[in-house]
Chains A and B, each alone.
Chain A
Amino acid sequence: MKVLSRFEIRRFLFFFARSVSQRKGRVVIASLSVMLAVAMVTALAGINSGIREKLGAELKAYGANIIVSPRNGDSIEAAALDKIRGIQHVEDASGQVLGKVFIGGYAIELIGLNIDRLKYSGWRFIGDRPAKRNEVLAGIDLRDALRLAPGKTLSLESNGGKADFIVSGFVEKGGPEDSSIIMSIEDAWELTGTNNVFSAILVRGEPGKLDGIARDIVRDVPAVAAKTLRQVASAEESLLSKMQLLMTLVTLIALFASTVSVASTVSANVFERKKEIGLMKALGGSRSQITLFYTTEAVIIGLSGGLSGFIAGYLSAQAISRGAFGSFIHLPQWMILLSLAMGLSIALTASHFPVRGAMRYDAAAILRGE
């Protein structure tokens, strides 16, 4: 193809704009169908990555990579915590108490943890963290349900009795924490009437040494099981793989349907323009000069469909993920490039054959008016 000068590009765009404005409707329909497919793929990828991020999220959110849980019964002796801290390559470990509290007769999840040690990664805070005894954090959903405000007093009831707590602030994490009450371990022990036991111990070990650490924990601490982040994640992942297969299938169908629909739009376009193409040939237009009009149209359809599809897909993934999994989606930035590329390749693939066919029309016969 000959190189177009800037002046020629301007002229090309001039004729191109005239030609496209004649078939705005078709161009819009074609880019809508590209948009649908790209939106579908983006949404599925987004939901997928959202779910993936949730894999092992329980551990990640606390900056931990090994979870130690009781093998029988439902608690671990507090002494286990010191033993685990003494194991080689363990950087940090903290206990957690899980239980139930009642507010006005309603059961609510209680999480007791080491407030100072809490790694707040992935947590969003509103207000202050508890600074002293009898101060608690409430999940964001709980705040909304009970219309809580910082400083408000909450009356909590559990096996250990009944006590008043002050809400210091709120957390949002996109997980079960959002509807829980979070307090210090000491408060949790007192409220639930237990002492010196944990429901689980979260361990941060040196990356790369996790399997060894997990083995050492099981050896040194009686009656516990230790799972590394990878084990937790892969157990959750096997559940996901079936869903992903379905998603991939739906995606392929969407891509195929969209390509077919764009192809038929472009074919109709080209067919309507048979006379125009014959005339352009008679005026001495070369194959590249003539097909440039149609290819540019496809590029525009692809890019606009790709971009709008990305936006629509992102928004719906966000909505679905909020509703279904209670989590936010972080789409990688390259996903927008992938969407554009996907839109482009749908549109270019779809228009390739009709445009090639158009160049084969017998210009002589067309111009004779047959």
Chain B
Amino acid sequence: MTYTLQLQAHNAHGILERILGVIRYRGFEIMGLVAHLQGLQLAITLELSGQNQHLIHHLRKLIDVQFAHMTERVSSVREAS
């Protein structure tokens, strides 16, 4: 199944690398990525089978991540509100 991971984070030093590092270490392959680097917003497409909630929890542990959400349907980056 294809999922979209929506993330919002402080644009702190190295944040993008940190997020990508967690996704890689936890064993997920990135299929697509849309990034708005101001007030960092990301939409990352992942191929997943079964359980996926962990990744969200691991990403939320990153100090600079403000918002992380996973949806089953591919969508684009949310507009900053």
Physical interaction between A and B = no
Q: Which B residues have a C-beta under 8 Å from some C-beta of A?
A: none
